[in-house]
Amino acid sequence: MSRTLLEQWRDMAYDESADRGQLQRFWNSYFEIEKGIYEQLLTNPDEEVKGTVKELAEKYGQEVLTMAGFLDGINDSLKEANPIETMDENTEVSLAFDKEKLYKNMVAAKADWLYELPQWEAVYSQEERKRLYKEQKESTTIRKGKKIGRNDPCPCGSGKKYKKCCGR
């Protein structure tokens, strides 16, 4: 069985045997392409761009495999996920994205070259962008609860001291 587009893309993008410099150049070039596509998508954020993988690759002047990589990256930000695991170049896909999800996912990926794109300024005010940024950062912050002391009442509600109850 031939490998899916996504498998081919991931083999190339996450190639363990590749020379580090080569991989670095690969990703730098990919990030430039990705940035260019997002600049276009964010110019009309409410327009649903759709077509086959091949048509979208042609629309953005890219290789089909590169488009598969882009579709992999944007999938979690879409209103409806594409069948990226099984798609081939003739699969119909949509780039209709959820603006808030997309912005937060760019922040989560630490992709400042994407969430700082000037096109976002027409989508969200500076205050809104700050709020979304903060919400995303806080959603991944782990907060520890207050530590229970040995002599504190047991949180199970028995009325006993913690050390004499659940703390044994």
| pTM of this structure | 0.82
CA distance 87 to 76: 16
Mean pLDDT of 137-155: 86
pLDDT value at residue 155? 85
Strand partners, 78: 97
Average pLDDT, rounded, for the chain: 94
pLDDT value at residue 61? 96
Instruction: List pLDDT tens digits, range 73-132.
Output: 999 999 999 999 999 999 999 999 999 999 999 999 999 999 999 999 999 999 999 999
Instruction: Report whether pLDDT(1) > 70.
Output: no
CA distance 6 to 83: 10
Locate 130 and state its tokens: 């700050």
CA distance 21 to 149: 53
